[in-house]
Every structure is written in C-alpha cells, then in structure tokens.
Amino acid sequence: MGGHAGFSFGLALAQPEKPVVVFDSEGDLLMNLSILTTIAEKAPRNYYYFLMDNECYATTGGQPVPNAKNVAYDLVARGCGINRTYFFDDLATYTAALPEILAKDGPVFVWNKIHPEIENRPPGQRAPWRKRSPAKVVADTRKFLGVTR
C-alpha cells in the first residue's frame, strides 16, 4: 500500500500524451497523502485519480480506517491544490457524471464512497471476497470506458 498514486503520477508525467487513470483506495492514499501536493504542483493534464473509499483496509483483512466517516477526501485534495474534485456516494450519479469528468483536463480527483466486500475476521474465517477474476475486471473496465485496447 502507498504506491499507486505516485506510480500512476509518474506515468502521467512520462506519457503526457496519454490519459492515465488510477483506481486507488483510501488506505493506500493515507499511506502517502503528501502525493496530492505533488500532483497539484505539477498538474498533469492527463491524470485522473479515482479514490474508492470503503472505510476499511480490505487488503489486510478489513480493519476499519480511523475516523473514516469524517474524512472528506475531496476537500483534502482541493486543499492540496487539485481544483477539479468530485464526490459520489451512489453508482447512478457517478455513472452519469463519468463522461464529463473524463472530458476535463487533469489533474482530476474523484472520491467514490463504496461498500466494503470484506469481513473484519481472521484470515481462516473469511468468506472469499473476489467475485471476478483480474482478467474479467480489466475486460469490464475496458468495455465500460469504450476502450478496445
């Protein structure tokens, strides 16, 4: 955890003619929150950051993120200097706004409040959480975005 924003930001700087879209978690962002100030300073026009906030550290077992219900990540990003920020807590509104968001110049920060699909239980007692294979996730994302390659 802690590297997705920095890695994708580097890609955006290295490939300025290509859009770079990253889907990240609040747990990951909290490991390197200062990356938002760097993104704001360099302001890559091709960078789109989507924060998927499920209020827990799903990767390590579903432990709650401290103060999760009170953090306004869109305001944090705006306070760091990212001017185009959005917040969504329902899929229909998010889906309707997505084409307009992707048409804007970056950097863009989108905070999505989502429901966790994991239980905070010991590893041997958890129900399997993966509902789609990684290949299916990529295929579904490409189809949704209208990307063929």
Q: Strands 63-64 and 56-57: what pairing?
A: antiparallel
Q: Which of 25-34, 87-96, 125-134, 139-148 has the lowest mean pLDDT?
A: 125-134
Whether the CB-CB separation of 51 and 73 falls below 8 Å is answered with yes
pLDDT tens per residue across span 56-111: 767 676 677 778 888 899 999 999 999 999 999 999 999 999 999 999 999 999 99
Whether 112 shows a pLDDT value over 80: the answer reads yes
Q: How confident is the model at residue 120 (pLDDT cuts 50, 70, 90)?
A: low
Overall average pLDDT of the 119-133 stretch: 66
What does the block give as tokens for 94? 């998010």
pLDDT for 138 equals: 85
Provide the pLDDT confidence category of residue 1 given band limits of 50, 70 and 90: low
CA atoms in the 13 A half-sphere facing the CB of 119: 8
pLDDT at 28: 86
With a CB cutoff of 8 Å and minimum separation 6, the contacts of 141 are 147
Q: Residue 39: which pLDDT band, with cuts at 50, 70 and 90?
A: very high
Element (H, E) at 90: none
> What fold does the segment set 4-145 form as a domain?
Rossmann fold (3.40.50)
Please name every residue paired with 112 in a beta bridge, in sequence order, or none if there are none. 52, 88
Q: Where along the chain do its domains lie?
A: 4-145
- With a cut of 90, say whether residue 144 has pLDDT above it: no
